């Protein structure tokens, strides 16, 4: 270690929730085997530099999703690795959004769906990659890409996704399935479809992405891709430890795979 504090700092947009909570739990399960302390802070590198909170206690940072201001904390001389955030010059770990959504959409096609809409926050880097996976799955099966079936939303909330589905239905665009960029959004799509009188999956199939806990208890249970956070957490912590111990650095970007994990009998 470069100091005697032996603490890993985690900067994250949220400290709870299905995705961030699970990710932090996975990081903790890895760090506890090697380091006595983990300090998790809600905020970005820019935020933590402004407050200087815990800066003197950290031997290495794991930055999740938001890398704004990362160069500011790099000046302290401690190693940094990111999860789900691209920052030139820093090692990064990403979920394989492209392959995961490609597999999820292929699953829909296997259930005889040809007209498949996509709903997601296209300003989000992960969702951009998932859209590319959606497009690839269609191309591989000879299905024409229709940009009118792409519904961009402002965020991943249930409310925004529900509004997007209502817009899709009002537009009278024929589709038999919807691939949704996150499970949280997919739950909104599921509710909006049912409120409009559609049966899921008989009238319209819905598939999400992340395999969050709430997806299991939806009615019907939501078909969703697996969100495997533990491999990403392990690689991020391993990367950070290698850099602290001054051993050979790993490749600058590694990815862990997400694939369709759980589905209802008829792709609900």
User: Is pTM, for the whole model, over 0.85?
Assistant: no
Query: What residues pair up with 52 in beta bridges, in sequence order?
Result: none
251 found inside a domain:
no
Output the pLDDT for position 246.
37
Residues 100 and 169 in one domain: yes
Residues 187 and 216 in one domain: yes
Output the pLDDT for position 36.
64
Residues 157 and 194 in one domain: yes
For 91, residues 6+ apart whose C-beta sits below 8 A from its C-beta are: 80, 81, 82, 239, 243, 249, 250, 251, 252, 253, 254
Output the pLDDT for position 112.
95
Residues 23 and 100 in one domain: no
Residues 71 and 17 in one domain: yes
Residues 100 and 61 in one domain: no
Distance CA 246, CA 102 (A): 38
Give which of 150, 144, 145, 199 is closest to 171, Cα–Cα: 150
The conformation of residue 136, written as its DSSP 8-state character, comes to H
**Chunked mean pLDDT (size 10), the chain, 268 residues:** 68 85 86 80 93 89 93 90 90 88 95 97 91 97 97 95 96 93 95 96 94 88 69 47 39 49 49
For 214, residues 6+ apart whose C-beta sits below 8 A from its C-beta are: 18, 183, 184, 187
197 found inside a domain:
yes
Residues 56 and 104 in one domain: no
Using DSSP, state whether 214 is helix, strand or coil: helix
Domain with 47, as residue range(s), is: 7-90
Residues 101 and 197 in one domain: yes
157 found inside a domain:
yes
Distance CA 217, CA 42 (A): 28
Output the pLDDT for position 255.
54
Distance CA 66, CA 124 (A): 11
Distance CA 258, CA 225 (A): 7
What's the CATH number where 114 sits?
3.40.50.2300
248 found inside a domain:
no
Domain end position, chosen among 24, 55, 90: 90
The domain tally of the chain equals: 2
């Amino acid at each position: 270690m470069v100091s005697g504090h032996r603490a890993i700092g985690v900067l994250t947009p949220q400290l709870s929730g299905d995705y961030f909570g699970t990710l932090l739990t996975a990081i903790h399960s890895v760090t506890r085997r090697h380091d006595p302390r983990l300090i998790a802070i809600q905020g970005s590198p820019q935020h933590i530099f402004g407050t200087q909170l815990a800066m003197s206690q950290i031997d290495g940072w794991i930055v999740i999703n938001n890398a704004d201001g990362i160069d500011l904390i790099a000046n302290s001389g401690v190693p940094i690795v990111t999860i789900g955030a691209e920052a030139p010059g820093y090692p990064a770990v990403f979920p394989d959004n492209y392959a995961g959504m490609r597999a999820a959409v292929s699953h829909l096609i296997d259930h005889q769906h040809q007209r498949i809409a996509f709903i997601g926050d296209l300003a989000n880097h992960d969702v951009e990659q998932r859209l590319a996976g959606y497009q690839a799955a269609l191309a591989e099966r000879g299905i024409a890409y229709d940009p009118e079936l792409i519904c961009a939303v402002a965020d991943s909330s249930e409310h925004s996704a529900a509004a997007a589905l209502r817009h899709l239905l009002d537009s009278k665009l024929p589709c038999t399935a919807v691939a949704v960029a996150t499970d949280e959004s997919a739950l909104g799509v599921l509710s909006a479809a049912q409120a409009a009188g559609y049966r899921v999956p008989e009238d319209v199939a819905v598939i999400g992405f992340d395999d969050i806990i709430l997806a299991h208890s939806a009615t019907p249970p939501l078909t969703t891709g697996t969100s495997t956070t533990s491999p990403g957490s392990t690689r991020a912590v391993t990367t950070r430890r290698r850099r602290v111990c001054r051993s050979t650095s790993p490749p600058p970007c590694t990815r862990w795979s997400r694939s369709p994990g759980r589905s209802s009998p008829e792709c609900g």
